[in-house]
């Protein structure tokens, strides 16, 4: 296989992260209170669950929403008018409480990959957090293309988002590998787009009979063997 490009997932592939929910909720309530909206925590959580349920219904169709769209729904459920200023503050709160750490080998692997292939990031997210973290770390210099699903309103495994990346990289499906930790989003999406998938072995995932590695640290050596 003549590999010309590598598409990488973000969370679970290059990094590990999770939202710190309790302080996130508290700060969210504080932001609203600072604007004169005193909301009981139980009411706030119910409104947020409702907004996220709306998000999941959109995602079930292979589409994506932005953080701002989701939290505008959240504010609407609380009968609070949304504007750019408050939505930006809420998004900042989300970024502050979403704890992310790059895997120790991430930069070394990205450097090696960028010297051999075109490299793209393709992340399912309503936030621009991956792009910001890559910029802050300086790792963005290793990428030819960075796409968050919020950018296009499409979400893996929708083949349309893979097609967009291929067009931007100017490569054919059989010249590309996609690497990710989700069997449904990453592997099925790659398969349905005629792209070779390489799964990062992850607990609690459906069975996958295709290529697999234990971590991103193994990727360059694996690609060398695949390209022979």
The pair of structure tokens assigned to 204 is 């609690």
Q: The tokens of 133 are what?
A: 């973290």
Dig out the tokens for 205 from the structure: 């995932």
Written as six digits, the tokens of 137 are 């770390």
Averaged pLDDT of the chain = 96
For residue 192, the cross-strand partners are none
Domain ranges of the chain: 5-16+101-226, 18-99
Position 188 scores a pLDDT of: 97
**pLDDT at residue 182, rounded to an integer:** 97
User: Do you know the residue count of the chain?
Assistant: 228
State mean pLDDT over 75-81: 96
Going by pLDDT thresholds of 50, 70 and 90, the confidence category of residue 1 is: confident
Report the percentage of the chain scoring pLDDT > 70. 100
Q: How many beta carbons lie within 10 A of that of residue 138, not counting itself? A: 9
| Per-residue model confidence (pLDDT) at position 227 | 75
Measured CA to CA in angstroms, residue 109 lies from 68, 69, 139, 195, 200 at distances of 33, 35, 11, 21, 14
Task: State yes or no: pLDDT of 75 exceeds 80.
Answer: yes
Domain 5-16+101-226 carries which CATH code? 3.40.50.1000
pLDDT of residue 86: 96
């Amino acid at each position: 296989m003549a590999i010309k490009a590598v598409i990488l997932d973000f969370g679970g592939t290059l990094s590990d992260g999770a939202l710190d929910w309790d302080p996130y909720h508290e700060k969210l309530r504080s932001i609203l209170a600072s604007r004169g909206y005193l909301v009981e925590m139980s009411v706030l959580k119910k409104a947020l669950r409702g907004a996220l349920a709306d998000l999941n219904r959109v995602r079930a169709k292979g589409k994506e929403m932005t953080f701002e769209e989701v939290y505008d729904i959240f504010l609407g459920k609380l009968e609070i008018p949304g504007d750019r200023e408050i939505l930006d503050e809420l998004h900042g709160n989300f970024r502050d409480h979403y704890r992310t750490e790059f895997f120790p080998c991430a930069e070394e692997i990205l450097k090696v990959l960028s010297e051999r292939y075109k490299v793209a990031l393709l992340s399912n997210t309503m936030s621009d957090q991956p792009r910001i973290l890559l910029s802050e770390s300086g790792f963005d210099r290793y990428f030819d293309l960075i796409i968050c699903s919020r950018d296009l309103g499409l979400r893996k495994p929708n083949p349309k988002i893979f097609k967009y990346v291929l067009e931007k990289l100017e490569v054919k499906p059989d010249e590309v590998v996609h690497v990710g930790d989700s069997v449904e989003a990453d592997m099925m999406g790659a398969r349905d787009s005629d792209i070779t998938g390489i799964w990062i072995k992850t607990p609690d995932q459906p069975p996958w009979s295709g290529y697999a590695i234990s971590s991103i640290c193994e990727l360059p050596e694996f690609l060398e063997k695949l390209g022979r």
